[in-house]
Each structure stands twice: as C-alpha cells, then as structure tokens.
Amino acid sequence: MKSLQQLRLINGDMSGPLPAGLFDLIDLQVLELSVNSFSGTLSTDFGKLANITQIELNNNKFTGSIPDVFAGLQYLSK
C-alpha cells in the first residue's frame, strides 16, 4: 500500500479524524476525500507526502487553520 499513488474516497459517508497511516503513503500524488464527514484539524503531517500534487478536502467538517505545508501545492480544493 505504501506505493499507492491515488486515493479517492469521494462521497463515502466516512467520518472521524484522518487515520495517521494516511501519512505513510509516501508515493501518494492525488488525495480526494471530498463530501464526507472527516473532522478534526488538518495535520502538519501532510508535509510527509512529498509527492502530493492534488488534495481535495471540501465538504468535510475540519476545523482550525490550514497548515503552511499546503502552500506549495499546485491544486488545492478546500
């Protein structure tokens, strides 16, 4: 699984905080978690995803501010 490049869990009725294991997916390039009920704050551990180019997190229940690690992304949908 660590070589996974795309993870798309859109409109999946998923909830709770993001699992810590997500940040072990070092080859991940695309992360789409839109239209779920994920909650909690966005972790600075997103910085571990060195190959990420696209993240979609819109329509969830995240709180707090967006970490600085998101600043370098080419495409970010909140």
| Rg from Cα positions in the chain | 11
- Summarised one tens digit per residue, pLDDT across range 21-67 is 999 999 999 999 999 999 999 999 998 998 988 899 999 999 999 88
Structure tokens, 30: 């695309």
- CATH for the stretch 6-77: 3.80.10.10
H/E element, 21: none
37 within 8 A of 14, measured Cβ to Cβ: yes
* Residue 78: per-residue pLDDT: 52
Measuring CA to CA, which residue among 26, 20, 19 is closest to residue 1? 26
Instruction: Provide the phi-psi class of 21: left if phi over 0, else alpha when psi is between -120 and 50, else beta.
Output: alpha
pLDDT band at 72 (very low <50, low <70, confident <90, very high): low
